[in-house]
Structure 1
Amino acid sequence: MMNRFCKFGKLQAIKGEGKTLLDILLKASEELQTEDTCFCYIVGMSQEEPDVVYVYEVWEDKAAHENSLKLEPVKGLIQEAMPILDFSKSTNYPDLTIYGGKANF
C-alpha cells in the first residue's frame, strides 16, 4: 500500500457565518467527486462550536492536493470563503501521512 497525504484543519468563520462556511466546503467536496487523486474529503461541525468547520482530506500525494487548489471551481470557492474566515482563530494542523484506515459512506 502506498502512503497518502492528509490535510486536517479547523476553520473558524466570523460570528454567525459557520453555516455559510459549511455550505462552501460541502460545495468543494462536490467539486472533488471526480478527482481520482482525492480519496477522502470530509467536512464536519461540532454542536458546541457553531462557527467552526473541520475538514479532513486524504490525497494521493501532496502535489495532488496542491493541484486541487488550482482548479477553477475550487479557486472560486476559496475566494467565496475568504471574507467570512476568522484567521486569528483558524487552525491548520500538520500535514499527515496516512498509512491505513477506513473511510466509507
Structure 2
Amino acid sequence: MERRAFIAGTAAAAVLGTAAGAAPAGQPKYGLIGRMLAKPGQRDALVAILLDGVADMPGCLSYIVAEDPDDANAIWITEAWDSEASHKASLALPGVQAAIGKARPLIAGMDNGRVTRPIGGHGLK
C-alpha cells in the first residue's frame, strides 16, 4: 500500500496500453485517487518527480497529477489500471522505486487515498 499512500497511488504514475498477461477484457478496472501535500515551496519539484518516469508501467491506463488550485502545497493524483495486480506489480519497477526515493523528502503529508473502480470515460478503454 506504500504506493497508494505515496502516489495516492505515485510516482507516479502516463502510460496507455497494457502488457502481455494483463487483465482480461471485461474484468473490473482498478483506480486510485488521493491528495498529497508537498513541503512548503516544494510542490513543483514534487510534481516533476511524479511525472518523470511514469512511462512503461504495464497495465497503467491513466496517471494524472493535478495541482490543487486552493492549496499551493497540494496535488491530486488519479490513476486507472487494468487490474489491482498490475498496480501492485508496478511498485517493484525501478523507475517507481527511484521516484519514491526522490519524492519522499519533499512530502509533508497525504490524505487517505480512495480506491475506485473506473468504468469508462474519455481515453479509458
- CA distances 1:30-62 after superposition (whole Å, capped 9, x unpaired): x33333401000111023212111110001111
Given the alignment of the two structures, is residue 55 of structure 1 paired with residue 77 of structure 2, yes or no? yes
1:93 deviation in Å? 2.4
Q: Is the 8 A contact 2:54 2:95 kept in 1?
A: no
Structure 1 unaligned segments of length 5 or more: list them: none
Structure holding more helix per residue: 1
How many pairs does the alignment contain?
A: 99
Mapped partners of 2:64, 2:72: distance in 1? 17
Q: 1:88-103 maps to which residues of 2 (within 5 A)? A: 90-103=110-123
Cα distance change, pair 72–57 in 1 and its aligned pair in 2 (3 A):
same
Aligned-pair identity (%): 25
Can you give the 5+ residue segments of structure 2 that lack an aligned partner in the other structure?
1-25
8 Å CA contact 2:29–2:80 kept in 1: the answer is yes
1:54-76 CA deviation, whole Å, 9 max, x = no partner? 11000111111111111011101
List aligned pairs for 1:1-105, cutoff 5 A.
Answer: 1-27=26-52, 31-87=53-109, 90-103=110-123
Letter in 1 for 2:103: A
Contact 2:64-2:77 at 8 Å conserved across structures: yes
Distance across 2 between alignment mates of 1:56 and 1:67: 18
Q: Return the alpha-carbon distance in structure 1 between the equivalents of residues 104 and 55 of structure 2.
A: 23
What is the one-letter code of the residue matched to 1:98? P
Between 75-84 and 90-99, the greater mean CA deviation after superposition? 90-99
